[in-house]
Every structure is written in C-alpha cells, then in structure tokens.
Amino acid sequence: MTRWDLLLTNARIATMRRDEADYGVIDSGAIAIHDGAIAWVGDARDLPHTDSRERRSLDGLWVTPALVDCHTHLVFAGDRAAEFEQRLAGASYEDIARAGGGILATVTATRSASADELFDAALGRVDALLASGVATIEIKSGYGLDVENELKMLAVARRLGTARDVTIVTTLLAAHAVPPEFAGNADGWIDVVCAELIPAVAERGLADAVDAYCERIAFDAGQVARVFESARRHGLPVKLHADQLSDGGGAALAARHSALSADHLEYSSSDGVAAMAAAGTSAVLLPGAFLTLGETQRPPVAAMRGHAVPMAIATDCNPGTSPLLSLREAMGLASRLFGLTPAECLAGTTCEAARALGLDDRGIISAGMRADLAVWRIDHPRDLAYWLGRDALTHLFIEGRSVSLTAA
C-alpha cells in the first residue's frame, strides 16, 4: 500500500468541483497528498487506513484550491503614477496613449532596464501574489516591442518560476502597441511579430501562448488574425485583449480563432458572447483596470451567464491601468463592480482561471489534481470576496510543499 507524503485533517474544504453546488463543501474533511498530487479527498469518516509520513491538523480552517492569476503584465520597469494623476484630472486613457504615454512610456523604461533589474522588480510582485494565495501566475510580454526586448521579458518571466515555488505561464504579447520605430506602419510591426518573434519564442520555448490587443489605439481585426494564424502554425494557443474601450468585434474574433480566452470585454456584444460560448472561449474579467480607468460600461455578465461562458477573474497587474497586486482584492472588486457572486469569484480565480490558461491539472480539489492548496482563517468561502484588505491566508501548499509567505 502506498504511503502518503502528507495528510491534512480537521479541514473544511471547498473543492470547487464544477459538478457540485455551493462550493463543493466538505465540512469535516481530509486531504491526502503524494508525489505533489492529491491522492485522496473526502469526509474524514471515510478516510482509508493508509500510513502517512506527516500528518497535520488544520484545526477547522478552510481549504480551497490555490488561486490562479490568469492575466498579468508583471515584468516591467518604472511606473505610471503621473498618468494616474492625469486621469484624475480628466485625461482619458486614449488621450494619454496618443500623447506618447500609456504603454509606450513603459516600453521606454523596460527597454532601458537590464534583465536583472526587471527580475528583481518583478520578484517582489510575485511574492505579493503568493501572499494572496496565488500558486499559478500568467505573465505577458508587450513592453519590449522589439525582438530583443520581447525575448528579454519572456526570459525574465521564465526565470521567476525558478526563483519561487510557483508556476509561471508565459504569453507573447508583442502585438500590444505599435512600437515608436513603426509609427504609422502597424502592418510592418505585425510582419516582424509573425516572421521573427513567434518563430523565435516557439523554438526557444519561451512562450506558452500568444496574445494581442484588438482596439482602435492598437491593432485591427485583420492584423490580429495574422498574428493568430502565425501562432497556430507554430503550435501556440491564442488569447485576446478584446472590446475593452469599444466594441471592435473582439469577442467574436477570439471565438473564430478558438482562443483560450478573451479578456476585458466591457463593450462586447451579445453576439460576441454567444460566439465565445460556441467556441469554448473563456471570459477573463479584469476589474482592476475597470476601476482604475473609471469605466462605466460593465462587461455583459448576464449574457455570459445566459450562454454559460466560463468567467475567470485576474489582477491584470500592470503599471498603467491596473496597479493591483492582490487577486483577493480582484475578487472583491469583481463582486462589487460587476455583480459576480462570491461563488463565481472563487471559481473565477481557481477552476475557471485554470481553464482560461488551458490547464486541467489544478483549480479543483480532487484526487489526481495538483496539490496546490490555500488555507484560510475565514468563516465561509464567501468571505474571500466579502472582506477587503483582510489577511486571511495561513498556509499555501504548491505541489504539496508548504511555501513561505515571507520570501520578500
């Protein structure tokens, strides 16, 4: 008989299994872990008679799947606090971008920074997310906007995954903005992305997916389609920043290319949402950007529910539009700003966030899944969306190993 590595007892468990209602609660539960995976989970009264190398009582604390932050821009240099002040004074995001601020301001700072400088700055952000219960982080490029610096960003992101016991999922977002060297020639930059960058990241294993920004201030549907077609030729799945500032048909575009996810979606139409449902494309909602930009147009959550589109939530951590370093806070914002229920918020940062990344081995507490677990001092899982600023995390396990929450 197999000897378990760790047995967690006296736990209240929110399994977040999609086939179970009300968080999939097990009130008096136990979780057995072996070789980094969940070997058994259930009511403690049904616990098999199997030996364990270590046994730990959780004294009635709640256990959920560890959180998954499925959309971040965590690697960058500088900040854009001055733009924050400008927006408060009345300037729009588009006004700032067209004046040379916005994404291009971060591009200048990121290009000037060394890989070590980017790594050191990003590591503190990783630690902040770990402290909010996150075990899997997606990180995009998009602030290099030339071949050398896009590759530099992705290499730094990969390196972060070796410095902390955390899963880093990387995404090439070279089609984030038109580089200054290609001003007035967006198609020329797309040529470089398709012919040079995507083949390079595929060959070097630097990216797990390819993203693009489809918007009036970025790239049109035809340009994005070229990027996606190149990604598919090189075996990389795609995702899209869609319909954030206007309804440019981004949701439907993402669906046509079988994207893993379409993200933002404030201005998406009902037809776009229906297309996502048919294609199996997840929605990633980003309340930090909605709040920071002072948006009033909410994502069409009712339509997403009606069409059973999976809804994930992420921090969108970036220096310009979402300086947010807590996925817990993103849950609270999503409930208050978008009307998501606490159960939808927890699903959106666990099982649905994992789905949005194409990961089927985490986000649920079930036998065979990765033993990525968060332990909370709360009265009920709904508290994770209800409380703002409460430090409720007591333990974080990644592949069954207890992770330090004070690495920073």
The residue written with tokens 């409930």 in the block is: 335
> Do 140 and 31 have their domain in common?
no
Which residue type occupies 248?
G
pLDDT, one tens digit per residue, over 280-314 is 999 999 999 999 989 999 999 999 999 999 999 99
pLDDT, one tens digit per residue, over 47-62 is 998 899 999 999 999 9
pLDDT for 22 equals 84
pLDDT, one tens digit per residue, over 209-266 is 999 999 988 999 999 999 999 999 999 999 999 999 999 999 999 999 999 999 999 9
pLDDT for 98 equals 78
* Gap between the Cα atoms of 43 and 152, Å rounded: 48
Q: Which domain holds residue 110?
A: 67-356
pLDDT, one tens digit per residue, over 233-248 is 999 999 999 999 999 9
| Beta-sheet pairing, 261-264 with 238-242 | parallel
Burial of 407 (0-12, 13-18, 19+ CB in 10 A): middle
> Do 125 and 233 have their domain in common?
yes
**Residue 227: inside a domain:** yes
> Do 248 and 184 have their domain in common?
yes
Q: What CATH number is given to the structural domain containing 31?
A: 2.30.40.10
Share of residues in the chain with pLDDT > 90 (%): 90
**Residue 1: inside a domain:** no
> What band does 408 get if pLDDT is binned at 50, 70 and 90?
very low
Burial of 45 (0-12, 13-18, 19+ CB in 10 A): exposed
Q: Report the domain count for the chain.
A: 2
**Residue 213: inside a domain:** yes
**Residue 407: inside a domain:** no
pLDDT for 175 equals 98
Q: Is the pTM of this model over 0.95?
A: yes
**Residue 154: inside a domain:** yes
> Do 154 and 262 have their domain in common?
yes
Q: What CATH number is given to the structural domain containing 217?
A: 3.20.20.140
Q: N- to C-terminal Cα distance for the chain? A: 40
> Do 310 and 190 have their domain in common?
yes
**Residue 408: inside a domain:** no
> Do 300 and 164 have their domain in common?
yes
Burial of 37 (0-12, 13-18, 19+ CB in 10 A): middle
Which residue in 288, 289, 268, 286 sits closest to 277, CA to CA?
268
- The mean of the pLDDT values for the chain is 96
**Residue 129: inside a domain:** yes
Three-class SS state of 5: coil
**Residue 26: inside a domain:** yes
> Do 82 and 152 have their domain in common?
yes
> Do 197 and 336 have their domain in common?
yes
pLDDT for 406 equals 65
CB of 273 closer than 8 Å to CB of 253? no
Compute, in degrees rounded to 10, the torsion defined by CA atoms 71, 176, 157, 100: -110
Here the tokens at position 71 are 């959309």
> Do 54 and 170 have their domain in common?
no
Residue 339 has pLDDT above 90, yes or no: yes
Phi and psi torsions of 252, nearest 5°: -65, -35
> Do 111 and 167 have their domain in common?
yes
> Do 197 and 295 have their domain in common?
yes
> Do 190 and 163 have their domain in common?
yes
Residue 325 has pLDDT above 70, yes or no: yes
